[in-house]
Amino acid sequence: MPVQTLKDKQKRLAKIISILKDEYPNSKCSLLYESPFQLLVATILSAQCTDERVNKVTKNLFKKYPTVYDYKELSIKDIGELIYSTGFYNNKSKSIKGLCNMLIKEYDGNCYCS
């Protein structure tokens, strides 16, 4: 696949979203979140875990650590302890820490499509 500009990627994303909305007009995400960043974290936690369990964990997690910068000083071990009950917490905590580092370094902490 040839390299795409950001504008091309945004057009492609808009088309995909439009198709999905047409195909699944009444779909709703069962994960609870207040920002795109929180949705990314909840999605990582949802691997091999029920949405119900994820929502229980993220209720407290997002209250204490609502933004990407709140995770900056947390170690992978600290994150793992917070998300332990979702299972696979070692891999998930590494993914969350890597996500936060990448968002801060490459996108100034933002995770919006536009």
Question: Which structural domains are found in the chain, ordered by start?
Answer: 36-107 (1.10.340.30)
pLDDT at 22: 95
Task: Determine the Cα–Cα distance for residues 27 and 59; give it in Å rounded to an integer.
Answer: 22
Across all residues in the chain, what is the average pLDDT?
93
pLDDT at 108 over 50: yes
What pLDDT digit, counting tens, does each position of 12-59 carry?
Answer: 999 999 999 999 999 999 999 999 999 999 999 999 999 999 999 999
Give the closest residue to 29 by CA, choosing from 55, 10, 9, 11. 55
pLDDT at 113 over 70: no
Distances (CA, A) of 41 to 16, 106, 114: 22, 17, 19
